[in-house]
Amino acid sequence: MPPFFQRLGALAYKELLHMLRDQQVIYLALGMPLVMLLLFGYAVSFDVDELPIAVLDHDGSAAARRLVRGLEASDAFVVRHQVREAAAIEALMRRGTIRAGVVIPAGFARQVARGAEARYQLLLDGADGTTARIALGYAFGATAAAAGDAGRGVLPLLEPRVRALFNPALRSALFIVPGLAAVIIGILAVLMSTITVAREWERGSMEQLFATPVDRLAVVLGKLLPYVAIGLLQLLLVLTAGAWLFAVPLRGSLATLLAAAVLFLAGVLGQGLLISMVTRNQQVATQLGAISGVLPNLLLSGFIFPPDNMPLPLRVLSRAVPARYMVAVMRGVLLQGQRLPQLWPQFLGLALVAAAFLTISTLAFRRSLD
């Protein structure tokens, strides 16, 4: 075997042994993705189910009751309280018992009957903007339906027939899990790789290593390979759990996904190694790793906020975040069944970012003690 590969093999095997001997790493590497998947998969939902509301009905008419039934029929709302004064709604909302209130004014039925503009008031909890916005959408729909039932169009009755492709039930989990998988793996890769080089500097083993003829590319790749393997294992774990718990499909090819994952991992690990090499200090590296691992992966990846809606500087910055491309690949392959011809811009992005991070970290890796 050529000496380079002999050295690379020795370095990678040693790194693997470190991992296997350190139970914390095993827990972090395999336990954390599952915990985060469960947390995000179940807790983070953009669906609004059975939002508790209070109703203040000044009218007491059949039309008013029809409106309330219409709201409840969507399953988005459930009436918890019938109240007698407007102040009660605010009090209940402050206590957290309800998330929205409906005030139907006296004369509502008369207005409906006359075909005039019938108004009711929807009070939303603006402290939770996301839920409020979604509730508003449901209320519009329900109101339109109720108006239609009344036989007279309060609103012009255009009735769009909506079908959400790739996710017909518009389930949040289906949208979240693929992106989440990329984000979790990215964060963990940065966290795990940031301390590896810094640890060797602190313990003095890096000095020992530099007295041998190993070259820096072998050191960088030797550090990288075992973590790529762990990352792929995490991906398979999250995909299996996602399919089992949240019925996330795999409509494209697994090979495409794994190929993208290798490039993605090379990028995020390169980022972690760079931090580790520049700081040479475990504590600083851990902090920098936590910040630079979590924030871009979570905020700039498109996992939650679509990059297209970001202000220009962030949009540009997001192009250097490997997770941005990986989130798109995950959704594309898992949900849409996309293949390489559609995904090549993402692959190109992943490859460029990975090449950049690895080149910079290899160059930044000074093989001397100066």
Residues that bind another protein (CB under 8 A): 1, 3, 6-7, 9-11, 13-14, 17-18, 21-22, 203-205, 207-214, 368-370
Beta carbon nearer to another protein, 69 or 203: 203
Shortest Å, Cβ 304 to another protein = 38
Written as one letter, the residue type at 73 is A
Shortest Å, Cβ 351 to another protein = 30
Q: How far apart are the C-alpha atoms of 111 and 123, rounded to whole Å?
A: 21
Residue listed under structure tokens 């309060």: 154
Interstrand relation of 51-57 and 77-82 (parallel, antiparallel or unpaired): parallel
Shortest Å, Cβ 219 to another protein = 10
Residue in 284, 282, 289, 248 with CA at minimum distance from that of residue 268: 289
Contact between 118 and 111 under an 8 Å Cβ cutoff? The reply is: yes
Shortest Å, Cβ 24 to another protein = 12
Shortest Å, Cβ 16 to another protein = 11
Residue in 278, 290, 257 with CA at minimum distance from that of residue 366: 278
Beta carbon nearer to another protein, 59 or 200: 200
Contact between 142 and 76 under an 8 Å Cβ cutoff? The reply is: yes
Beta carbon nearer to another protein, 208 or 240: 208
Beta carbon nearer to another protein, 9 or 105: 9
Shortest Å, Cβ 26 to another protein = 13
The tokens for 269 are 């690990």
Beta carbon nearer to another protein, 14 or 66: 14
Q: How far apart are the C-alpha atoms of 84 and 105, rounded to whole Å?
A: 12
Q: How far apart are the C-alpha atoms of 362 and 2, rounded to whole Å?
A: 21
Beta carbon nearer to another protein, 210 or 347: 210
